[in-house]
Amino acid sequence: MLSDLNEALARAAERRYDVCVCGTGPAGITTARKLAEHGKRILLLEGGGLSYSKRSQDLYNATNVGLQYWFLEEAGRARYFGGTSNHWAGRCGIFDDIDFDTRDDSGLPGWPISRQQVLRTREEAQQILDIPGANLAPVQDPHFATPLFARSGYALSPPTRFLEKYGAEIRQSQHIEAFYNANLVGVGLSDDQTRVQHVFVRNYNGKMTKVVASQFVLALGGIENARILLNASSQVPGGIGNHSGMVGRCFMEHLNVSIGRFLVTDLQFWRRGSFPLAPTDTMIRQHGIGNGFLVFEPDPLPQSSGRFKALREFLRDTSCAVPPIAGVARRIVDFDCPGDGTIGSLIEQAPNPNSRVSLTDEVDAFGLRRAQLNWQLSDRDWKTIRILSIESAKEMARLNRARVQLAPFILDRDRFVEVSGHAHHMGTTRMSADPRYGVVDENCRVHGVHNLYIGGSSVFPTGGGTNPTLTIVMLALRLADFLANQK
Amino acid sequence: MNRTRHRGSVFDRRTFLGLLPKLAASLAVVTIPACAQHARTGVSAGQDFLIINGWVLNRHDIFPAASTADAV
């Protein structure tokens, strides 16, 4: 059943549920559906409505005090039913073996569970995301024979919009009671602070109710999960699960850096289209860098974007025919000429406690303190960007597939690196068997609170070198199976 | 990533030949000595490569004789 909490406030408090799932993105909906399959009574809560509204979205307004970041608000987070599945691009991949190894350069432990444990639900997760049977493993390309790089494996979801695809099922479900316009505003712990007894939920008419369940799952997104835990400080100073001060720390993105451009030197090779290139384990270990992939995209007519779009296009159209002039013009405004290939990237960021979500003193419409992001990169991240760029360029030249012109900041440490993200918010409630280094245990349970669990990429201890949604769904299925077996 | 960007087929021979002067022109505008770039990058281009004006090149792209000598 699907109801509006603005109109059905009393009904949410009538029943006692087995599991209360807060958040309706891929993690929340997947957890709820799987638990319903197990016959559990589920309360599913969404703070926004069934479509975008400014009133709901404004609750995500946050402050940024770190690196420039575009994905704190609407561009990166959608606060309505279906969550960020409403605007994701659909690229799916799986973590490599090496992503589950502890790499000691960050000083923090890696995943406390194995790749096999995560991938156990892979087939089902791929069905959920409409990529059944897709082979996602990197492959050695016979036309690009090198021990340093492989062709990155991935599949494109349509992309699956969770409200569109699963809304009817939720409406008709006998096991799921879903409410939208239902904002989680507080968490009530038992006196000994080891159990959640109820959560407080508000609608937009100023009414609040208390809902009771045996288990609670927060699946609100990588920034909001941390914000809710930090705000829940009335009973636990510093917030729930924050005994070691790790809530909100280790915020990670996948780095999006335009590392340069290239000219093709092997027409036959590039007739296949774009070439996604991922470092092999050998390469990662040899250089002590992170994972990721670079997409070499031959581009007949590069499109411009951003504030200087018109200027870039004017310069492209007028100067590219005379390369020396284009060269001079590019020193002023960077633009691509027809025939240039572009190089996109998704590069792993190492966990870094100084990169964090915390709270400001400003409060939202419900009285919760707003989030503050301080996104920081470490020396290892800069090294990963530079090594992947230079080594891939060398292999392109060595194999005579292309010649790469690297962006000036790749070659000059003193220059500012133009880095962005991919709207992947990870790590703020990281998984660790040792409570000193994380917020949740290997079953996604908040350390010290027996019936509070976290869903989504905020539990990732490391971000890996691929898009996170498939892993989020696999972990949600794993969490649901675990919860189904709890008394 | 934007999956919907326009794609077309431009890789005919004439286009390719048109690109060669661009590469030559870029090489001609050598503004930063390769060795200085190596020093500032902290990452060596290696014995077989040069970095000139940002272009990562095989050494024999520039010095064909050297590659012959290496082969010998």
Pick the range with the lowest mean pLDDT from A228-232, A269-273, A386-390, A471-475. A269-273
Q: Which of A195, A308, A259 is nearest to A411 (CA)?
A: A259
Residues of B with CB below 8 A from A267's CB? 11, 13, 16
Predicted confidence (pLDDT) at residue A233 exceeds the cutoff of 60: yes
Q: Say if A307 is an interface residue toward chain B (CB within 8 Å).
A: no
Q: Extract the tokens encoding A214.
A: 């045996």
Residue A132 exposed, middle or buried by CB count within 10 Å (0-12, 13-18, 19+): exposed
pLDDT of residue A452 exceeding 80, the answer is yes
In the prediction, which pLDDT does A380 show? Answer: 92
Question: Closest to A413 (Cβ–Cβ): which among B21, B42, B45?
Answer: B42
Residue A363: pLDDT above 90?
yes
Domain ranges of chain A: 2-136+155-253+351-377+425-484
A398 — contact with chain B (CB < 8 Å)? yes
CB neighbourhood size of A328 (10 A): 12
Whether A232 has its CB under 8 Å from any CB of chain B: the answer is no
Q: What is the mean pLDDT of residues A32-50?
A: 97
- For residue B41, which amino acid is it? T
Residues B8, A300: C-beta atoms closer than 8 Å? yes
Q: Best interface-test mutation with B: which of A255, A343, A394 has the largest number of B CBs within 10 A?
A: A394
Residue A112 to residues A226, A424, A443, A456, B22, Cα–Cα distance (Å): 20, 21, 10, 16, 51
Model-level pTM? 0.88
Please determine, for residue A326, whether its predicted confidence score (pLDDT) is greater than 90.
Answer: no
Q: From A145, A140, A138, A152, select the one nearest A401 (Cα to Cα).
A: A145
Chain segment A174-221, per-residue pLDDT in tens: 999 999 999 999 999 999 999 999 999 999 999 999 999 999 999 999
Residue A210: the pLDDT is: 94
Tokens of B4: 């919907």
Window from A226-240, A325-339, A363-377 with minimum mean pLDDT? A325-339
User: What average pLDDT does the structure give for chain A?
Assistant: 93
- Please indicate whether, in this complex, the C-beta atoms of B40 and A91 are within 8 angstroms of each other: no
Closest CB from B6, B16, B19 relative to A301: B6
Q: Please give the distance of CA A365 from its chain centroid, rounded to a whole number.
A: 26
Percent of chain A residues topping a pLDDT of 90: 80
Fold for A2-136+155-253+351-377+425-484, please state it. FAD/NAD(P)-binding domain (3.50.50)
Rg (CA), chain B: 16
Kindly report which listed range (A242-256, A318-332, A337-351) carries the lowest average pLDDT score.
A318-332
Locus of tokens 């290696």 = B46
- Residue B29 confidence (pLDDT): 46
DSSP-derived letter for residue B37 is H
Measured N-to-C along each axis, helices A26-37 and A162-172 cross at an angle, to the nearest 10 degrees, of 30
Predicted confidence (pLDDT) per residue in B24-37, tens digit: 555 554 433 444 44
In angstroms, rounded to a whole number, what is the distance separating the alpha carbons of residues A322 and A318? Answer: 9
Question: Mean pLDDT, to the nearest integer, of B13-41?
Answer: 51
**CB contacts, 8 Å: A411 with chain B:** 37, 40-41, 51, 54
The Cα angle at residue A299 between residues A297 and A301, in degrees rounded to 5: 155
- Residue A57 pLDDT > 90, yes or no? yes
Taking the mean position of all CA atoms in its chain, how far away is CA A75? Answer: 13
Q: What percentage of chain B reaches a pLDDT higher than 90?
A: 0
Interchain CB distance below 8 Å, A410 and B3: no
The predicted structure's pLDDT at residue B69 = 38
B22/A406 touch (CB, cutoff 8 Å), yes or no: no
The residue type of A313 is E
pLDDT, tens digit (0-9, with 9 covering 90-100), for A293-323: 999 998 766 677 777 788 888 888 888 777 6
**Cβ atoms A453, A446 nearer than 8 A:** yes
The length of chain B is 72
